[in-house]
Chain A
Amino acid sequence: DADVTQTPRNRITKTGKRIMLECSQTKGHDRMYWYRQDPGLGLRLIYYSFDVKDINKGEISDGYSVSRQAQAKFSLSLESAIPNQTALYFCATSSAGAASPLHFGNGTRLTVT
């Protein structure tokens, strides 16, 4: 089983709909992240959480919200989806420590029509 699991793997939704992407991990890491990947733009940070009571905005948080339900669960919500939120979304985890590597899930491909 994957250490970092994202659901769903693919999702097509319509403009204006609310949608939630979920992430769970079995690595026991305190830190969790949501990134979005677009062709030619690389990975950009949306939100991150260093423990259950900690939530921080990344560079592109507008239009998104997150919830850290437990150490192992971190969900990303789009309150009212718009087409330019079409992208590949990745959840990642890491242990504490400045040089700790990120462990990524396999991504959720979201299409907003």
Chain B
Amino acid sequence: TQLLEQSPQFLSIQEGENLTVYCNSSSVFSSLQWYRQEPGEGPVLLVTVVTGGEVKKLKRLTFQFGDARKDSSLHITAAQTGDTGLYLCAGLNSNSGYALNFGKGTSLLVTP
């Protein structure tokens, strides 16, 4: 059972465009993390959000945790080719025990 649904699954945009990636669930999460994965490497943590309504910024990336702690979004402003990669959200809740449950990921391609 996939607790976390990510959309879109694939996204291809040009440099300079803005984009938003979504991570949704019917379950409440005590915390949610976003990772980025590049080909041939393991995922690397971008951010952790723990409070409903929380907004965190990491340079051109803005992360938001929903008020009810069931969803999250990642917004990238003025995308660059270096943003290309697979973006994964992962959450912790009572259903997943003590280990993170991952979404299927959004594959982002930014072209010059």
Interface residues of A (CB under 8 A from B): 4, 33, 35, 40-45, 48, 50, 56, 58, 90, 92, 98-99, 101-107
Q: A90-B42, A98-B31 are in contact. Are A45 and B99 (CB under 8 A)?
A: yes
A102 to B98, CA, bound (A): 12
Q: Does B68 contact A (CB under 8 A)?
A: no
A101 near B104 (CB under 8 angstroms)?
no
B103 and A42 contact, CB distance less than 8 A: yes
How would you classify the secondary structure of chain A's contact residues: helix, strand, loop or mixed?
strand
> Chain B binding site: helix, strand, loop or mixed by DSSP?
loop
Pairwise interchain contact B92-A104, C-beta atoms closer than 8 A = no
A48 to B97, CA, bound (A): 11
Within 8 A of A (CB), among B60-112: 88, 90, 92, 97-105
Q: How far is the CB of A39 from chain B (nearest CB, A)?
A: 10
Partner of A106 from B35, B42, B92 at Cβ < 8 Å: B42
Say whether B30 faces chain A, with CB atoms less than 8 Å apart. yes
A98-B30, A101-B45 given; A48·B99 CB < 8 A:
yes
Indicate if the CB atoms of A101 and B42 lie closer than 8 Å.
Answer: no
Q: Tell me the nearest residue of chain A to B4, going by C-beta.
A: A42
Chain A residue with the shortest CB-CB distance to B97? A56
Besides A99-B92, A101-B45, A102-B35, 12 other A-B contacts (C-beta < 8 A): A4-B42, A42-B6, A42-B103, A44-B102, A45-B101, A56-B97, A90-B43, A98-B31, A101-B48, A104-B43, A105-B42, A106-B42
Least Cβ–Cβ distance between B26 and chain A, in angstroms: 17
CB distance from A38 to the nearest CB of B (A): 10
* A41 & B42 in contact (Cβ 8 Å cutoff): no
A90 to nearest B CB, angstroms?
5
